[in-house]
Amino acid sequence: MDLKRAALGEAVVTLGTLYDARNDTFLSASVLKSPLPSDALQVTKIDKFDVEVFYGDVQEKEFEAMSISTDLGLSILTGLTAQQGSSIFLLDQPDNHSLSAKLHHTLITTKETLNFGFTELKNLLAAKDVPSGHATHALVAIDWGVRSVVAAHQPSSRRMPKNVAENMFQSDFVTFQSIVEALTRGEHLTDHLRTTTGPDEPMEVTVYSDVLENDGIIVEDLQGGYEFLELVTLYAKEKGGGKGFPITYSLLPIEALALFLPSLGQIFIGRYVRPSSECSSQFLRLFNDFQSCEQILDGLQKRAGANAKYLHSNVLQSIITRKEKRNSALELMKTKLRQTLQSVRGGSDPGPLWQLLSEFQEGELSPRNLSNIEKSVQQSIDFPSDAVSKGATYIGHNGITLDDLILKFSHGDNYVFFFKPNFIENDCSWQANQDILFELLETKRPGGLIAIVDCEAISMTLDRVRIAHFQGGQEVNGDLLEHRHFIADKCFATCNEQTVQSKNIRKPIQRRHVAVPCPGVNCAMAEIREWICPRCEAPIEYGFSDKFLYCECGRSLYSNYSFKCNNESHGPSYALYDLKHFLRLLNGLCQSKYLNILILGETGVGKSTFINALVNYLEFETLDDAIGFDKLNYLIPCSFSTQVMDRDNPSQPIQEKRIKVGSRDDEKDGSRGDSATQRTQVYPVTFNMGDSTQTVRLIDTPGMGDTRGVDFDRKNMADILSTLSGYDELHGILILLKSNSARLTISFSYCIKELLTHLHHNAAKNMAFGFTNTRISNYTPGDTYGPLKALLQQRPDMGLSLSTPTTYCFDSESFRYLAALKNGVPMPNKLDFDRSWKHSRDESLRLISHFKQNIPHKVKNTVSLNGARQLIGELTKPIAEISQLIHSNIALTEDKMQELKDERLTGDQLRDRLHVQKIQMSAVPLAHPRTVCGNAACVEVRSDGTEEDKTVTIYKAHCHGQCGLRDVQADQLAHPGLIRCWAFSGSQYCRQCRHHWQEHLHILYELVEKTVTAVDGTIQQKLASHANDLTLRETALKQHDQRISEYKQEREKIRDAAAKFGVFLKKYSLAPYNDALIAYLDYLIKEEQMKVQAGGSNKRLLSFTEERHKHTEAIKVITENLNSNANWETMSEGAIDRMVQSLYKLKHFGSTLENLRHGIATAHEATYREIPFIIRRKHGRDFRCATKPPEPHRHHPMPVAPETKSPVKVFFRRLLKF
């Protein structure tokens, strides 16, 4: 077959020269004698220029431009054929980080062709000189001229983006190309040749040409390349008789040449088979891959060497080792290919050639494998130096410690980028975190610290790349990216930080998430938004009892707040509400965002562990997710024991490990059989549910069957009912049981029956049964099912049954596994715990879904008896005070009547005294319970300065102004719970006043007394009709006499009600009964006795003493009637409520009594406190893979005060589907 072969700078050969295509070389012999006569040649003048430009390293295209076939290309690359002249540029290997371009400038001057029409040609044969079997072709034509290649390389710039540098480089070379093309037309445009690259980034220009035999020459710039091309044309025409140099050879197979010269048929011709063009092309690409591999490794070695101080020593060594393997692999392939290529071209089986190709394309020595250095390694080489160059401080292989730096820069905001090199490739949030880092570096303030920490270098455990925020030397935000995603769509409400009360603040029960429109002028008032605090980022709640807004910072009055929503049209500033309108919105908030779940169970059932596990099940989809989280979430301190057995070493004793989860003063850990929960405790767990905030109150109760006896069971039941009475609704009641109890204990049966007795029958649909430790019963109720079913059948009227919607099977062992692991005690059989986690989590979600779908049960119906007890308790002090108030008003009215009987009063003096004065009282709640001393030395009794010369008690000793104890009965002297007050600190005596603790009491409010004028309608009518003095006096005396009678009637009704209340409490109290009113009257009597001793009036003392006597007598009468079953129906809880409502309707003192009770209830309500719990983890990991981090939240000035930054978290995403 014909061959057209590029000249590669070989020594000049003549027409007729023999060629061996098997190794692409010319032989020293020729088929023609030389010199040839002119008639044997056909000479054609051409004088044609050709200019081509190639960008990058495109070897195949450059081969094509030089008429180098893929077959010849392999010969060149394997070393079968040497290069000289212009072809030397093929050995040029640019840096892979540089920009490159090549301009091929070719002049074809003449074409010489063997003239087969010359009749004497056959006489010029020199067949006898032809070596037998070596030749495959003969040279029959030559294209003459000169070829030059101008190669330019532009080193990469760190100052300039790659695309900008590439555009500038190509712009320069396009200009150069156009000027060279003009030169071929005889135009000289060198004035247009201007480069745009800077002096610190010079372009490297090398010229290769046929006029240069063994090497190229380096010129200063493209101008030097242009000048070389101007001269090379002139020089070439002086060579080869004006023809120049061979550019292209045309070769004809000898068997084809024999058709023209028959005598050549006697020559033994070497066999030549051209290999598959596809195979050859793939080998060319393989050489390109080896070249690319070398460039990659060279670049990595250079960068690793420059950044060695940030790298482990083995990084650079591993790159050098790869380079050595690459060079060895290339040489091995060249050797094998050279031998195999000649063999196949000689006619051998082409199979080995394909096998060789496969070996180096896919094998261990393939360029792909050798250059496959992890992206993490590549970027880890550059990342530290890039960050340091922008102002970051590196911590890792340099021995610097983070703690020292944080301490040094503890005065301001500091940021630390924690990473491991492999996270660059494996953590999908790497790019987003890196963008935040560089953003922080751009805005870094002088004196601030931004550090990058290679955790692998310092052997620090790290599960993901993150940026931590430090303030004052403390970590306040563990993951800045997570934090930004969290606040990206949040609405903020803030107040002046100086108005925030943060000490001993406990949230009231009656509160709601603040969900109101934004007051911004450009914001839609119809769009309800939920608000969080920008400092702690917790949801803001409104307390109905005190008008405070609460977050984790503390609380501040609603009037102190301003608002900024996430609407783009809102603007940068915070907006203020009209306070009256804002208060109306707050008071109208609904409680649909709260879910109340009561959890009951026998002591030892694992209730506390279940609650802890529940929180984790709802937050983490898998056990591995929980293991990967840096902390262990828990609500209730608990502990358990596990054993470690070395079965491979039986002689080793079994080791017992005690695993402890958290601690709190009011809880035991339950490890020794005691109930871990010592009293009813409420855990409001707040989390995001879709676009809104949800709070689930987990009401944890003391275990049924208390280890301290039945009396404590009764107290616990009373405590449970008392706690429930503080809530309006109950969405679910979960009764926990073990799955392996073949029979129920007596104490549990008692507690279940007691509970069913006190629950309203409508609560049945809100009840569900949860079974713990069900892994041993294949996640079913197990042996407990039968006894429980039988117990429920004893009360068919309740409508309770064990069905799938009301039956839930849990297994908390996976939480125990997690807790043990977090305590450094790994347990075997993890796959079992993985399955346990998945099942328990699914059951937990099903349970919450079930309770959410239930119609919430009204607690007033559920615990009606306890509600009556609470109502009576709240009325105890108001009744005592109202009785005294009536006594005072009777005395005041009688005094007024004596004045009116004085006939000397006439005219205006009479008219001024017609209306009666009435004493009223109101309760002012204290912000916190106050511990005060009742000892005479700590009480000041003095006149109130009025005409009546009343004495008042001033508690001088505020022994603990803001006491946090929640279980101390207010207004009760020497309540046992007071011993735990801070004022005593474990001692019997007060640290403030030094008096015995039994002389102290809690007060929650102060009663304020005021005198008002009671306008009588009848007297007013007479005045309007201008009645005379006699008529006015008689009318007034008659009305006052009637008023006294009405006062006494109301007093009797109140006394009768108080007595019935006392009997009711005695009948229904689960705990030992104490008459609260008698106890309070005793306290008031003692207080009045001290006033009398100080010289005060004895009126109130006598009144209180009389009231106590009458109350005792009334209780005695009612109790006797009760024992004889008389009037029993009037003693039901419904009757109690009706009785209270009738008291509120009393003409003169009903509203005062109701207001007093409401004020006192409000003060007491503020003492029902919960332990809020916000799980700080905000999101799953999916958000971390976002390609771009959210914009940072900018805190703009608000009308009240500037904000500060601080962290927080919320949790639960899985509940979205509910």
Query: Between 1194 and 214, whose confidence is greater?
Result: 214
pLDDT of residue 1208: 23
Nearest alpha-carbon partner for 519 in 569, 571, 562: 562
Q: Count of residues for the chain?
A: 1218
92-109 pLDDT, tens digit each: 766 655 788 999 999 999
CA atoms in the 13 A half-sphere facing the CB of 136: 19
Residue 797: pLDDT over 80: no
DSSP 1130-1193: GGSHHHHHHHHHHHHT-TTTHHHHHHHHHHHHHHHHTT-B---EE------GGGGG-SSPPPPP
CA atoms in the 13 A half-sphere facing the CB of 480: 27
Token duo for residue 576: 């203020």
547-556 pLDDT, tens digit each: 899 998 899 9
pLDDT of residue 511: 84
Q: For residue 1121, give the amino acid letter.
A: N
Distance (Å, whole) CA 531 – CA 582: 14
246 and 161 together in one domain: yes
Is residue 272 within 8 A of residue 345, CB to CB? The reply is yes
The answer to whether residue 681 sits within a structural domain is no
969 and 1082 together in one domain: yes
843 and 878 together in one domain: no
Residue 1123: pLDDT over 70: no
Residue 653: pLDDT over 80: yes
pLDDT of residue 269: 73
520 and 454 together in one domain: no
Token duo for residue 31: 């088929």
Residue 1187: pLDDT over 50: no
Mean pLDDT over residues 444-461, rounded?
87
Q: Which of 122-131, 481-490, 807-816, 1010-1019 has the lowest mean pLDDT?
A: 1010-1019
447 and 388 together in one domain: yes
Q: For residue 138, give the amino acid letter.
A: A
Domain boundary among 862, 888, 907: 862
Alpha helices in 1025-1123 (DSSP H): 1029-1068, 1076-1093, 1099-1123
Distance (Å, whole) CA 515 – CA 524: 14
Mean pLDDT over residues 351-378, rounded?
83
pLDDT of residue 1199: 37
762-786 pLDDT, tens digit each: 778 889 999 988 888 889 998 888 8
Residue 343: pLDDT over 80: yes
Is residue 551 within 8 A of residue 533, CB to CB? The reply is yes
Q: pLDDT grade, residue 707 (50/70/90)?
A: low
Is residue 129 within 8 A of residue 29, CB to CB? The reply is yes
Residue 248: pLDDT over 70: yes
Residue 1168: pLDDT over 70: no
Q: Which residues contact 27 (CB under 8 A, 6 or more apart)?
A: 17, 18, 19, 20, 131, 134, 135
Q: Which of 32-41, 159-168, 745-754, 949-958 has the lowest mean pLDDT?
A: 745-754
Q: pLDDT grade, residue 669 (50/70/90)?
A: very low
Residue 213: pLDDT over 70: yes
Residue 348: pLDDT over 80: yes
Q: For residue 656, give the amino acid letter.
A: E
The span from the first CA to the last CA of the chain, in angstroms, equals 78
pLDDT of residue 1057: 74
The answer to whether residue 225 sits within a structural domain is yes
* Other beta carbons within 10 Å of 369: 16
CA-to-CA dists, residue 734 to 718, 722, 769, 794, angstroms: 18, 18, 6, 20
Task: Return mean pLDDT, the chain.
Answer: 78
pLDDT of residue 1198: 40
532-548 pLDDT, tens digit each: 998 888 889 998 878 89
CATH of the domain at 636: 3.40.50.300
CA-to-CA dists, residue 605 to 149, 748, 773, angstroms: 88, 11, 9
Domain boundary among 813, 829, 862: 862
Site of tokens 């004028």 = 1013
832 and 893 together in one domain: no
854 and 972 together in one domain: no
Residue 1180: pLDDT over 50: no
pLDDT of residue 848: 87
Is residue 722 within 8 A of residue 679, CB to CB? The reply is no
pLDDT of residue 63: 83
* Other beta carbons within 10 Å of 701: 23
Mean pLDDT over residues 127-155, rounded?
84
648 and 769 together in one domain: yes
Residue 1147: pLDDT over 90: no
Q: Which of 107-116, 180-189, 901-910, 1057-1066 has the lowest mean pLDDT?
A: 901-910
Distance (Å, whole) CA 630 – CA 1177: 10
Q: Are strands 807-809 and 767-772 parallel, antiparallel or unpaired?
A: parallel
267-325 pLDDT, tens digit each: 667 788 889 889 988 998 898 888 888 888 888 888 877 777 888 777 788 888 888 99
Residue 86: pLDDT over 80: yes
Distance (Å, whole) CA 192 – CA 177: 11
Residue 503: pLDDT over 50: yes
pLDDT of residue 1183: 45
Nearest alpha-carbon partner for 229 in 174, 281, 163, 183: 183
pLDDT of residue 531: 92
pLDDT of residue 398: 85
Distance (Å, whole) CA 784 – CA 836: 20
What counts of helices (H) and strands (E) characterise the chain?
A: 31, 39
Q: Which of 194-208, 650-664, 978-992, 1022-1036 has the lowest mean pLDDT?
A: 1022-1036
pLDDT of residue 759: 63
Mean pLDDT over residues 116-137, rounded?
77
Residue 496 is part of which domain span? 490-590+1180-1206
pLDDT of residue 608: 85
Nearest alpha-carbon partner for 1167 in 868, 722, 588, 541: 722
Distance (Å, whole) CA 748 – CA 736: 11
pLDDT of residue 1195: 42
The answer to whether residue 483 sits within a structural domain is no
Q: Which of 563-567, 600-604, 850-854, 1181-1185 has the lowest mean pLDDT?
A: 1181-1185
Instruction: Give the pTM.
Output: 0.48
Domain boundary among 862, 893, 912: 862
Q: pLDDT grade, residue 489 (50/70/90)?
A: confident
Q: Which of 368-377, 439-448, 482-491 has the lowest mean pLDDT?
A: 368-377
The answer to whether residue 240 sits within a structural domain is yes
Residue 921: pLDDT over 70: no
Is residue 231 within 8 A of residue 150, CB to CB? The reply is no
Q: If DSSP states are collapsed to H, E and C, what string results for 382-398?
A: HHHHHHHHCCCEEECCC
pLDDT of residue 584: 92
pLDDT of residue 744: 63
Residue 217: pLDDT over 70: yes
657 and 735 together in one domain: yes
pLDDT of residue 146: 92
Q: Where are the beta strands (DSSP E) in 125-264?
A: 137-154, 204-209, 217-219, 245-253
The burial of 34, by beta-carbon neighbours within 10 Å (0-12 exposed, 13-18 middle, 19 or more buried), is given as exposed
The answer to whether residue 1175 sits within a structural domain is no
Give the angle subtended at the CA of 273 by the CAs of 268 and 277, to the nearest 5°.
160
1134 and 1199 together in one domain: no
Q: Which of 49-53, 675-679, 895-899 has the lowest mean pLDDT?
A: 675-679
DSSP 95-140: -TTSEEEEEEEEEEEEEEEE-TT-GGGGGGB-GGGSPTTT--EEEE
The answer to whether residue 1214 sits within a structural domain is no
The answer to whether residue 1215 sits within a structural domain is no
Residue 33: pLDDT over 80: yes
Site of tokens 């002689």 = 651
236 and 352 together in one domain: no
Distance (Å, whole) CA 802 – CA 1029: 82
pLDDT of residue 368: 86
Count of domains forming the chain: 6
559 and 535 together in one domain: yes
Query: Between 885 and 874, whose confidence is greater?
Result: 885
The burial of 424, by beta-carbon neighbours within 10 Å (0-12 exposed, 13-18 middle, 19 or more buried), is given as buried
Distance (Å, whole) CA 860 – CA 728: 7
The answer to whether residue 532 sits within a structural domain is yes
Residue 627: pLDDT over 70: yes
Token duo for residue 555: 């609380």
